[in-house]
Chain A
């Protein structure tokens, strides 16, 4: 019990340590202090996620059961690292330049960004990896129970606590915490990678420590150990050549296609050159891992009672020898192996699930919906987190349902075989331009179906009824899952791998040959296959003057020629070049991107520069970012447009107001000039004649009287002019006070005729109209003033030999109309519009008056609520005064 408690305490401490390591690495990376994080050694250690609990515990078990065959599991990856170094480099280069986020992304991008392929690969990966994750959960649980069985009372504790569940929850938390920090397309998880590197060291140390203990502590040195090995069955078991080749090939394929390997190999890769170190360091690591497998297995078989699980020898051998500390270390090694695999696999799978299944569904559901950029980011992160939870829940569920039996032990290879189905599409994609989407799809489906039928279903539980296994479906013998086409007696695993992969490859090639790639596929194919021709170094842009020219043309379209030319010239000068075209150095391109991003946003700028430099294509996440930016800019520009419209409107109003003011000012100047003229004219006469009278020189008596009367008349004219001006000013300013009284219209007319001095004048006034008797309530004096003015005008201007003025009163539509029509020549049409203007006079001034009369009359009628207008076509001059009948209005 004490041991188990200590174990749990150590375990929790270890987990806390991992959290701390991950957190510190993450922070260092954020603060830019993480140069040591980018060491090739960290990269190499992170590759050790290949070594899961299945390798840590299972290799010994494998050796105990099948001898040296376990080596194939290490041999495959080592061969890939050493011999296929260039293929890996190509994958890393493609992954980095194309901003690939997962295996599914790689394959779908290569084949024209096919969503269907991405979904297929994702499903295959989830189906293939889920049992593998449950295997890790099982191994942790098993190792706990190994401790518990050596500790009386521990079993009860184990059973009451569902270890696997807690491990799954803890791993989900860790992965969510450090695996979904940011959303950068090129995202690297420094914290996770660092924690995995630490775990890599722990598991290697643990295995070597157990090995050293077994060789020197139990066997008593290398010599006795070799003797023991020779004596045991392991040394004498024959090697099956076919199985060796098959398994080596399988593990090599899995090394390339496993999502978690792709994650650490490609996505988390900081620098292509790290591969160079890893090429020899990682095989060395694997060799060290495998060094003591056989001794532990041999000693375990010797020491442990028959029937004990050889998969647990790493743990149980030290325990039975009373080495609890060593056993504890060994446990941590196994724990590390399990957790590192689960964490990376969960990140890789969740990236695939969220990018290729959740996000497309979300985007389709919210199509046209108003989702802001922050929304999308938020959703992507949520999708990642949910997917991580989902993947781990699936793993746990599988563990629960499969009952954690020994069947899980074989899952490693089954899983390898499943993921290996991706190999033709992947390798064909990056080495063969002729590969097409249809080919990849056909190969994948065929391989997947065969793998399921021949390996997955027969291997696990009761996926297939026994009759199918023995006689084939519907009794068709050559369709038996483990003896397709009558090929019998082959190891079921090899049988399945051989059939599924060869038919997969065959279909891939054949369908590729007969189908035509879409333009996008062709483009992507060329970019993938010729990746090394297209880019010298993925870290920086490279190119020649021709690309500088293209960049300049592109930039001019966005920033305008003047600014761009100045920028390019200064950049060229900075590089010591004359003219406008600098070398497209990384520095220059970075600055250009910055300039552009001010106008079009960072992602768009990067995509544009990338497109011209030909170094990278645009990923889905780039496009999302571009779309976000575009939406923001459209929003912004529509706001600007609204603002600009508003400004235009305001400017127009201001211009109109200004025009009006200018016009008023011109009118006012003209008016003042007119008044000045009108006042100066009578004053001139007055002054001249008064000087004549004063000098009294050469004056005849009759002149004296005449000149005095001229002075008098001009003084009266001046006074009248001033009166009119004042009257007009008062009327125009609305300051006039009306004296409203009741009166009969006929009386007003009669008064006006009398006041105009009609009895003294030749003009005959004729009055017609039955409506004259109507009563009005208005300013009767002002109304009379208008009438007097109109009668006086007729007296002055009517040029008929027998001048006559008709005053006609009518009622029409609620108004009283009083027309003044004379029998003269009338007012010429071109002047009719002007006569109401101030100072307007039709002819010379013989008739007197300053030209203010009609202007004053019109103002008065306005105040009285009526109108005064000219009636054209009446023969003579004709004016109409119109008044509302109900004259009860207050004018003010």
Chain B
């Protein structure tokens, strides 16, 4: 259950765009939520690869693989056992990976926001997630 991977295929036939999203959250039901929500959000995208990890370290191992996988966006929680979202963020930056990271946290505080920003997070989203707003952000950032 450490890693869940789903390939969401949409609009079969065009086969133009493939999006790879990685979700890091210790709540197991997060994967299901993103899967169902993204299915609706990305009606125009051909293929969505959604990979979820329950821990930041597993995500790091995934990113460090010899053949680095294509990752377009990482959505990470902050409060997780072992390694937290901030640590993950700085580790990713140390890997010289320019992958955009959205921090998704139930802790809505200015401190967390500025820390995330300082560590190079692209966005800070607070839980409960407003998927409509998330969709707008993705449109703005990636033109998905």
Q: Are A and B interaction partners?
A: no
Chain A residues engaging chain B, CB cutoff 8 angstroms: none
